[in-house]
Each structure stands twice: as structure tokens, then as C-alpha cells.
């Protein structure tokens, strides 16, 4: 079993939600934490919640590769090394493909997928050199199933899943682990702050209203599950409402699950 005490962890999207909960729980377990977000005020609130732990904050736009490269250099200068990277920053776009402009998809890809790629690329060389590390990529239950009205979001979260599962093979024998997380129905602001497509209509409004009632799992529970999973050597972590049932649904009914999903949610 791995102990996180004394490890250096990087958490993106730490200004709220799962990222904030991860930062606090990492600090509680004795880790040193570099937290980042585009929201500077949210970061400072997170830092305050971490008490007297060694936590440093950095403003970061994860969609910009040059910012991530500079961020990695700054973190390594401040902490000396990095053991864990939590690629958590994300956004949501509600809309059917018909109602979604390509530019909107590009925006979402920049945060949800490009951000994960940039975070992995920025810190992986250090981990490979020291032959120790964990790349923890936050996907979603929508990286397990396709869901109408979330087509662009599905693309990004399936992309995170594909990248991480490919890393399982690429990193074999290196001492570096890739960990894939599928949270489901988490009570954070990501859905409440979701952007609707410019052409959104009744379909999108109904989906947003329905989704809002589903967000019941506290992010603190999710953060604890994620860190427990890492400490126990798991490389796929299912956490939150629906995550396990949806995982098995796609295995048992890969071609028929959309009809079942409609009844579930």
C-alpha cells in the first residue's frame, strides 16, 4: 500500500469542486500540494482550507501548452520534484451536436482533453526520470457511455479515457502509473456553471434541469475514494452515484444501454 505522506502532488482545477476536495484531502494525508486554477480567488479559498500544510497556488489556463510548460518548471523549482499529477480541470457544454458549433467543441476540447494532454506531457519526464509517479486523469461517467445532449462533453471524456488506457501500456515497467477516474453525479458547480450551446433550445433546458437533480455525491467523498484507490494500487476508479452501475451496464448491454439509461435518469 502506498502512503501519500511527503509526496508532492499537482492538482489542476483546484479552485472548487473535486479539485478543491482533492487538495484538502491530500493535505490531510501529509502531501505537499501545488494547486492551480484559472480562478485565483477560488484558489486562495482552497489554500485556506488546507490549514498549515505546504500548499502553494498558481494561476493556470490548462488549455495553453506554453502556460503548462512554464507551470511545470515553476512547480519543480518550488518543490524539487512531483510525484502525482491530478488532471482535474474541466468544463461542461450542454447541447446536441445539431445545436453545437465547431468553435464551441474546440473550446471544450481545449480544457477537457488538451488540458489533460498538456498536464501529462509537462510532468511525465520528471516522473520517468525518477521512476516513480502517478498521472491521475479525471474522466466521467460520460467517458463510459454516450448520452444525448452531451455529445461534445462525451468526446472529451472518452478522449481522456482513451489516452489514459493507452498510457497503461506505454508506461508498463517504468514505475509510473496512469490512473483513470470516472466520477458520476457529483455535487459540484461544474453542471450548474455549464455553458449551453449558442443554439440551445428546449432539449438543452430539459437536460440541464434533469441533470441538476442528479448531483448528489459530495466531492469530499469522491476525493477520498480517489486517494484510497491510488494508495491501494487501482488504475480505474469508479466513484459517485451511477458510476459502477453504468460501468457494468456498458459491459453487459453494449448496444442497448441507451434505452436503459433513459429509465435510470
pLDDT, one tens digit per residue, over 105-122 is 999 999 999 999 999 999
Active site residue 153: yes
Flag whether 31 is in a domain. yes
- The C-alpha cell at 130 is 525518477
Determine the 3-state secondary structure of 84 from DSSP. strand
**Count of helices and strands (H, E) across the chain:** 11, 9
CA nearest to 43, candidates 65, 63, 20, 21:
20
- Residue 200 falls inside a structural domain: yes
Distance CA 82, CA 97 (A): 39
What domain range is 18 assigned to? 8-264
Each residue of 66-96: pLDDT tens digit?
Answer: 999 999 999 999 999 999 999 999 999 988 9
Cell matching residue 74? 515553476
At residue 258, the pLDDT reads 84
pLDDT (tens digit, 9 = 90+) per residue, 146-180?
Answer: 988 899 999 999 999 999 999 999 999 999 999 99
Which residue, among 55, 65, 73, has the nearest Cα to 115 in the 3D structure? 65
Give the helix ranges, DSSP H, for 50-181: 65-79, 102-109, 115-130, 151-170
The 10s digit of each residue's pLDDT in 130-154 is 999 999 999 999 999 998 889 999 9
- pLDDT of the residue at 194: 66
Find the catalytic residue in 58, 153, 242, 257. Answer: 153
How many domains are there within the chain? 1
- The CATH number covering residue 94 comes to 3.40.50.720
189 vs 43: which has the higher pLDDT: 43
Let me know if residue 1 belongs to a domain.
no
- Residue 27 to residue 46: CA distance in whole angstroms: 11
Q: Which three cell numbers stand for residue 140?
A: 466521467
Residue 190 reports pLDDT greater than 90 = no
pLDDT confidence of residue 257: 86
Q: In this structure, is residue 108 part of a structural domain? A: yes
Q: Mean pLDDT score of the chain, rounded to an integer?
A: 92
**DSSP states along 163-227:** HHHHHHHHTTTTTEEEEEEEEESB-SHHHHTPEEPTT--HHHHHHHHHHHTT--B-HHHHHHHHH
Residue 3 inside a domain? The answer is no
Is 60 exceeded by the pLDDT of residue 192? Answer: no
**Mean pLDDT in residue range 222-234:** 98
Amino acid at each position: 500500500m502506498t502512503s501519500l505522506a511527503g509526496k508532492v502532488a499537482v492538482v489542476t482545477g483546484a479552485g472548487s469542486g473535486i479539485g478543491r476536495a482533492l487538495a484538502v484531502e491530500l493535505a490531510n494525508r501529509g502531501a505537499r500540494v501545488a494547486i492551480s486554477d484559472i480562478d485565483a480567488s477560488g484558489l486562495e479559498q482552497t489554500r485556506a482550507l488546507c490549514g498549515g500544510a505546504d500548499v502553494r497556488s498558481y494561476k493556470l489556463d490548462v488549455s495553453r501548452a506554453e502556460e503548462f510548460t512554464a507551470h511545470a518548471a515553476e512547480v519543480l523549482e518550488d518543490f524539487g520534484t512531483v510525484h502525482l499529477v491530478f488532471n482535474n480541470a474541466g468544463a461542461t457544454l450542454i447541447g446536441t451536436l445539431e445545436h453545437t458549433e465547431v468553435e464551441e467543441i474546440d473550446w471544450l476540447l481545449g480544457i477537457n482533453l488538451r488540458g489533460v494532454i498538456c498536464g501529462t506531457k509537462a510532468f511525465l519526464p520528471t516522473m520517468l526520470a525518477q521512476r516513480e509517479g502517478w498521472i491521475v486523469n479525471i474522466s466521467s461517467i460520460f467517458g463510459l457511455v454516450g448520452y444525448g445532449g452531451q455529445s461534445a462533453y462525451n468526446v472529451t471524456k472518452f478522449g481522456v479515457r482513451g489516452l489514459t488506457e493507452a498510457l497503461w501500456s506505454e508506461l508498463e515497467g517504468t514505475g509510473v502509473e496512469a490512473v483513470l477516474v470516472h466520477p458520476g453525479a457529483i455535487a459540484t458547480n461544474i453542471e450548474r456553471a455549464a455553458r449551453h450551446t449558442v443554439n440551445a433550445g428546449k432539449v438543452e433546458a430539459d437536460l440541464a434541469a434533469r441533470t441538476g437533480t442528479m448531483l448528489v455525491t459530495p466531492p469530499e467523498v469522491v476525493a477520498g475514494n480517489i486517494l484510497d484507490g491510488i494508495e491501494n494500487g487501482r488504475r480505474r476508479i469508479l466513484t459517485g452515484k451511477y458510476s459502477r452501475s453504468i460501468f457494468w451496464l456498458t459491459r453487459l448491454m453494449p448496444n442497448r444501454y441507451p434505452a436503459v439509461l433513459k429509465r435510470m435518469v
